[in-house]
Amino acid sequence: MVSTPKKHWASDAIVAIKAHRIAHKKYIEFEKDFVQILHAAEPGEVVVVVGPSRSGKSKGVKRCKEQIVRPSTADERPWVTVVASNDSRNSKFETKSFFCRALEAVEHPIYGLMTPDDSFGIALGRRQESTPG
């Protein structure tokens, strides 16, 4: 009779510890405050979240948006999220790049939408490249 080795309790404990997350006090405060800010925001108002990398900005925004229910029609977008990533080669934030992503996110009629005759966005890319900035 061949016996299978028993799993050591430590490996189960390590898996359980890795799966468990304890929110930092400041993160809990952020979520509470951010929900209140979203409730107070007027339609079209811009709400900006900034902070260091891996501090929970994206997760917090997602969780807070789930708590807010806003009535909207088919042509409205109650939430638009734009990540301000660093696209430059010289480690500087590029405002032009950020605004191009923002215009695409809100489906701007001139600068943010691909047209039926330009489904790959080639003309959109040219408009963005030719914009001074």
pLDDT in tens, 74-109: 667 777 787 777 666 777 777 777 777 788 777 776
Q: What angle do CA 54, 57, 58 make, to 5 degrees?
A: 95
Whether residue 44 is contained in a domain is answered as yes
Whether residue 36 is contained in a domain is answered as yes
Whether residue 67 is contained in a domain is answered as yes
Residue indicated by tokens 């029609």: 73
Whether residue 10 is contained in a domain is answered as no
- State what percent of residues in the chain have pLDDT above 70: 68
Residue range of the domain that includes 93: 82-133
Give the per-residue pLDDT at 16: 84
Of 79, 73, 71, which is closest to residue 34 (Cα–Cα)?
A: 79
Whether residue 6 is contained in a domain is answered as no
Shared domain for 35 and 69, answered yes or no, is: yes
CB 98 within 8 A of CB 84: yes
Whether residue 17 is contained in a domain is answered as no
Q: Residue 129 pLDDT > 70, yes or no?
A: no
61 vs 44, residue with greater confidence: 61
- Tell me the residue type at 29: E
Shared domain for 28 and 70, answered yes or no, is: yes
Q: Residue 33 pLDDT > 80, yes or no?
A: yes
Whether residue 27 is contained in a domain is answered as yes
Contacts of 103 (CB under 8 A, 6+ apart): 111, 112
52 vs 1, residue with greater confidence: 52
Number of domains in the chain: 2
29: three-class secondary structure by DSSP: helix
Give the per-residue pLDDT at 5: 59
Shared domain for 88 and 132, answered yes or no, is: yes
88 vs 58, residue with greater confidence: 58
d(CA 116, CA 101) in angstroms, rounded, equals 20
Query: What rounded mean pLDDT belongs to the chain?
Result: 75
Q: Residue 117 pLDDT > 70, yes or no?
A: no
Under DSSP, the state recorded for 116 is G
87 vs 22, residue with greater confidence: 22
Whether residue 105 is contained in a domain is answered as yes
What is the model's pTM?
A: 0.54
Shared domain for 68 and 87, answered yes or no, is: no
Shared domain for 91 and 118, answered yes or no, is: yes
